[in-house]
Structure 1
Amino acid sequence: MTVLVLGVLVLAVGGCVCVVWADRGGPRWVRAVASATLSVGDVLRYLHKNRRRGGSNRSGGGDGD
């Protein structure tokens, strides 16, 4: 389990490094990795937003009370 968490952490940090490097005009492969990293981030943000919205609808709480 620790190896899996460390692997995900290394991938995340590597992706962030590639995003910064690509912003400064890195090579083509860095721009590709940066694009993939940003796309994965967008997908995760979209899924998180939908999960939060779905959870608030089921809670039954009254926002206007």
Structure 2
Amino acid sequence: MTVFILSVVLALAVGGCVCVVWAERGGPRWVRVVAAVTRGAGEVLSRSARSNGSGRSSGDSGD
């Protein structure tokens, strides 16, 4: 069951990336909507990682 869920998440991520590229090339409206949702989700995850401190690189001293 876990493999199935991870496969679905991976397929959604790859599909979202494809839609982002297609939207940049002027795809249909639904592709631009999916691309916007994908970019928004990426921003939310990025901000979440930064606020938890896991966004630091290994060279940061944390000071």
Partner of 1:10: 11
RMSD after superposition: 1.8
Q: CA offset at residue 37 of structure 1?
A: 0.1
Unaligned runs of 5+ in 2: 55-60
Count of residues in Structure 1 that have an aligned counterpart in Structure 2:
56
Unaligned runs of 5+ in 1: 54-60
Cα distance change of structure 1 residues 8 and 52 upon mapping to structure 2, 3 Å threshold = same
Q: CA offset at residue 62 of structure 1?
A: 7.7
- The separation in 2 between residues aligned to 1:36 and 1:12, in whole angstroms, is 11
Q: Which has the larger radius of gyration?
A: 1
Task: Give the TM-score normalised by structure 1.
Answer: 0.81
- Flag the structure with higher helix content: 1
Report the secondary structure of 2:53's partner residue. Answer: helix
Partner of 1:24: 25
Task: Give the TM-score normalised by structure 2.
Answer: 0.83
Cα distance change of structure 1 residues 62 and 33 upon mapping to structure 2, 3 Å threshold = closer
